[in-house]
Structure 1
């Protein structure tokens, strides 16, 4: 560590202090070998360079450095000696090194004392010191041009340069260029001399050949070259001569072909052309004999046209079937046949004055038209045919066929022209006949058009006559269903539902027929409006989704959210409802997909399904009226076959198209194309009303006046305007619906008797649409049918002729206030707003809550008269709200109307039982039904309270029967379906009486009774026991101990007996109470027998089997015969046949149109079986056309009744 020299090859250096020298300090610092750059050593007195390396202590595994080994390099004997070695570098070349600062480190050839002193600014040295490599032409430190190569030594950071003066480098190159140029000049002279000598030997023959070619070019085809040598030029001259001869021959052939064609063209007629052609070919080919045959018109033989040089024996027709030799060959191949090497005994000979001679060659030429040989020309020569003659025949042959075909066509055209002239004369005579027939057809068409017009008028008039009574049936059945809900049994309610449902089906069919007649008559009113396609389809699918869910189908909707179409909304909805409804109807499983897109200003909607498909034979006819794929009596799907016809015609009048594609068994795709914007230029004009009727009165309530008589509209509008109202007139149902949607009037004055769409239909459409359902409607008609109007939703009725005072009184009643407060709890904003509008229209106050928690908060702050509650809500659902309400003594009697879209399970209904007044389903008619139910509850609240009965029963059938009996008598009945539920009920509600079943799972009736009697609040509640249990003495003692004096035994229902016991329990009868437990014969039916079972029959009853696939018809039949007889049911032919064979009914009512096995097949099988042929079969069928009765009876039925049947007539059978 001292830095002193311990050992040195120079004794004088030992002991010197080198601690500051880099070659000592750097190895210690870097622990690596250090190379010190060239420097001037004072010690040595010359340039020096050192290498130093650290020495490590081996005793400590090289961790310590104990010294530094330094080696000084003698540059003169090593590096400088190499740099001064300049062999091959000439007189000016040298090598040198520089440090990183471009300072010379070695001796220079042209500069003394340069090392470490001279800084070189020449480019090679500077670039090398900077770490670059390359070759460059530049100047050196002397400012002399040099060629230099430079490089970099990374270890020492030196730049190395090797250079030589450019003058010396390029001197040898200049010498080499001079020598090369000299050799080129000498070589060029030799080449020119040789070329001159060769040219003289070649030029003369070439010049001679050039002269011959010029003669041939001028038309001398006989010019030839003289061949004087056998070398390459002689061969070239000979080849040239051969080419000239070939050209001469080709020219001769082309001239001959031209002569042949000119002969055919100039002949003009076929007969002359045949002879001229034959003679021309004889001359050109130098033939000695020949013949020309042509196929006759029958195509049986070739007849001779002309000949030369052949004997009369050979001039005979040649039959096609007997053709041999060359004739047979050309007929088969339809090609030219050449025959040579002819034997001496040939029959084809030429007679001369010296005797007969044989031909040497024969050629047979077929003339073909449309691949058929129509003529054959044969030529023969006494010498072989030359190549030129053969070429003339072959090259002219195709053109001959064409020319022959043209001449033949011309001949046929002339013949046809004559025939056409004759035909024209006949057609002229026929034209007069057709003109007379056309006049007759026009008259018939006018009759058909008149018939269609009369048919349309008849259907339009009959539509009103049919729909008016039908609407009364439907509406009054709905009135009975709503208002008689507490008095009618569940079965009777089902009867009313069937009446209403089938009335709607019949109304739909009537509307379809009328709609079709209106389209055909061109009397369709269209009102274009902008329609969001996705929103429209969402609304439509809400009504169709339950049908798809019932069948387990997936409904897929792929519609752009921003897609809108401008068209007639009702027609657009009608088309889509028909297509999607059909897709769901005819798809047993899988999915129904609806997609929409826009292409070229057309909205394209695809409705595809995975259903049964349509047979290819039926696909072209599915859009025809009354056309169905399966129209047999065993068809599976019902319908009139009008839907697709109306959809197609509706698409047409909207400017679009409707098409279908289908694969049987895989599904169908219906494609609807409609204009993105439907232009209403051709819409029928509406009646023009006086401008006064449509004037606007600011701040006035608007009333829509609807009547097809313009005078009546004007009179009503005048009366209303004088009273300060604003009026908007409408003269048709369609116009009224559009205006009601657009201007949202305060009220509507509606006439009933209108063409096309009458008032009842307008009223139904108004109440069906959410946007117009809350608008009050006052009927203004000469038809006095107040009940129908009110049932359909009308709020008033004015009879024509209209009295102004009465009219204004009805209008002003719409603005009256009502003190009732209604709380609406529903998370659906649209449904909530719809109910709010309807309630406020009736003058009631509406409170709203968007979820269960808000509902409970409002109940704490206010006291509503009725709660309208949705079951499916966030945070707290409707069930939770009801549970909370019934825990509060002050709120538990609040009337609740449940309005929900949920498909209630049996468990859900059990949870609602006893807690709500009614349960309504969210449908199009839901708000109207809710309003009617609300009015009933409010009316009932103003009347004396009815007794409240708790029915504790686990049997569903018993619950229904007991509840129906009691509710029809005005009792309020809550149901608990088990003992524990009954105990929970009485903890928060004390009924006037309890009807208790003893036999229940978990907690039985005895436990319930003990709990009720043990509480002071419920100890005195009268209890009526309902049981099927055979009571023991111990059971009777338990009942007596709990003050039970009344008992109802389960069994067949005895309505009056049950009511008597209930009245006695509640002390509603004035008669004395029974002192002892009295088990009267008051029976309640606990269960219903299976339809396929064979129940025990009472004396006088008969067992009837009804085979009917329509559930409504089945219910109707049961309603007629079921009270007096035992009824068995079957929904199809196979099931009915099996039940008839197994159960042996006394009588069978058989529908003839059944899916699968139809009624005809069923009755035939029944009459064939030995044990069923005696069963009486009565056919009940809608097939009531001429011959249907005879067909049905011939099939084996014992009697025949046509639908619709009369109940008395049915019972008489």
Structure 2
């Protein structure tokens, strides 16, 4: 191998020194390589750990936000499906917390912060989330409202945000300190490397002194070159140049190879760090892909690049193109690949790179402004995350790719996979946050709508203020006028407030007057009914007739009271519609059953005409619709002596609808026409009859009766239903009243849904009760302006005889009657004792409690609501606390005919509810139901 004496001479002379130099250089190289590797691992570990810690902090914050959003969604809707995210996040945040705690286990201060965060979350769950959810499940709405009045859980959420942000900032400070330490160690490494090189130079100097003068120049040259590399502070681009052909040249060449390897490693690490830094902060995959390609392609000398991202699962799993680099015109690169399809799909499936040199049929092209070229080399590399390929990058170049290019891409893909996954996770978090914000905005929409009118009024006031200021700037006279306008405005506002108070006083007065009228009316109806039944056979036939007249007159008075209350409710805006699907074909059948006896009695022809193309169903308030039609038909029969009355159902006339309701759709309107051959109405009086307490003239009232309320109420009801009533009449030639009503209101679906929810809630409450409770009967329909549907009921049928088991059920039972009105006490006691019941009377609630204290074996309690000393609500609640009377049936009796009375009575603990004047048969029926239930429970 060594053939020249010169080489042998050098080997023998410098063998020992050469070996030492190689050992020193080897040690230095190993130390530098090891340190570089350690630094690389530390950087990778710090980057991965930092990303994971930030992701865990973000995940915990998201889990808490998700729990809070899910909790509030459930509290608002009552839908159990809203609690699914709450339960998932409740279990998920613990896992993230444990992982985060592992990262900070060696840091007592951070561990203490984490324990404080955990305590805050658990405190919010225990004191705010779980209690309110339980309250919602128990349907304690008022308790929830009281809880959120001060919202103690809000302080926990705000404290949690501050704790998480403090943890994140402290972690950033720790990273900064760690990076500063890395810089210090790098400086130490550089000084060590310089020291070692100096030491090698010194050793080489002593060795050189022992060699011949022939090699001194060569050794000096090598030492000088190495020193230049050391003096350049790690410039690995320097190379040793030696002219001799001996072992020194071999050393120089080996050193050059080593420097080239180090330079390649340094190049790879430097570019990896630059790409990793560039990719931070991006929250969109497309932007990330475009930025990545724009950065990496110039580094590896690629003239074209594409990045594909893995989406979907199962049969829909594909690699879809995210972005392209230097694409030209209509880019011919394929938009997506299946696994195993093409080199891109195969690269993802096998998880290995592909390098193609001189491809012949490459679909892409490298283009500039003046030329197009085919690539000479194509490089396809997979991007892996957690042992799964999540993306594939493809590059093309007009020059062959080098080995360091492939190494660079392999080093980059390890970090880039984490970046892609983090970016995709952030996008998903942002999407979920956007959905949460959309739900929040939807919940705020109604509030914003309610604020719209207030804002509009404020805008008007602001415009008025600006106008006032402008006028003030012009002259003193305008200022005086402005003051006068403001004074007038204040007077108008004061007047409006007084009108509002007056309307409230009127409503309260009518409600109280209803109570005062119904209380004596109750005893009149009960006693007159008992007299008309003449069970004792002590009255003559003529006296029985007198009693029937008294009972009928009492019913007429009750209908008048209901008319006045309906009109008051309409004026106060307290009438609520119950929208439901109503069969169009059933309406005339129901009305025919009611008015056929009336027509037969008066000798009139009652006809019903139905158009062929009528819809089978319409969405409306069926009760209010029938109330309007009954009123119109009763009027027609009252004012028609000979001829006929016709009810006609047909499609609405578009011209008539557009004249009264320009914005309405005629195809959506249905017409109900009541046609009679009666006395008719003069043209100049037709608008008057729809006003309250108005009739055609005084003679009408004297001949036909009526108060003038019915048509006014019907007109208001028609407007509430979304339609109106039209009149076509001529004196002595009959009248045609036509009700136009929509087949489907625009918000009917919402109203129907609300009604269904209320009905479901009511049904659920009844099933808790153990059985369906009989509801109080609806108030009688208001009397008509020109007549009453009660004409159909003048011939009252005889009461059906009671079955023996019904008589025996009531006979001998003990009833406690709590009533302060002596007239009602007399009437009700007589009626109850006639059925064989034993009745004990208490004049007020306090007297009731005194009686119960000494005697509590009552089978049933009849409780009046409006009483002095202690009213029915308070007394009922007190009885429900009594150890013996807590399960005794309590039927509430009240003369107030307001909608909330039933709910208030049941909420106080009453078993059932009946309004005054009391229909005794209805009361007996309720008593049988509750007595039967009590026997079944025993």
- Per the normalisation by structure 2, the TM-score is 0.31
Kindly name which structure, 1 or 2, has the bigger radius of gyration based on alpha carbons.
1
Bigger proportion of residues as helix: 2
Bigger proportion of residues as strand: 1
Higher normalized contact order (CA 8 Å, seq sep 6+, divided by chain length): 2
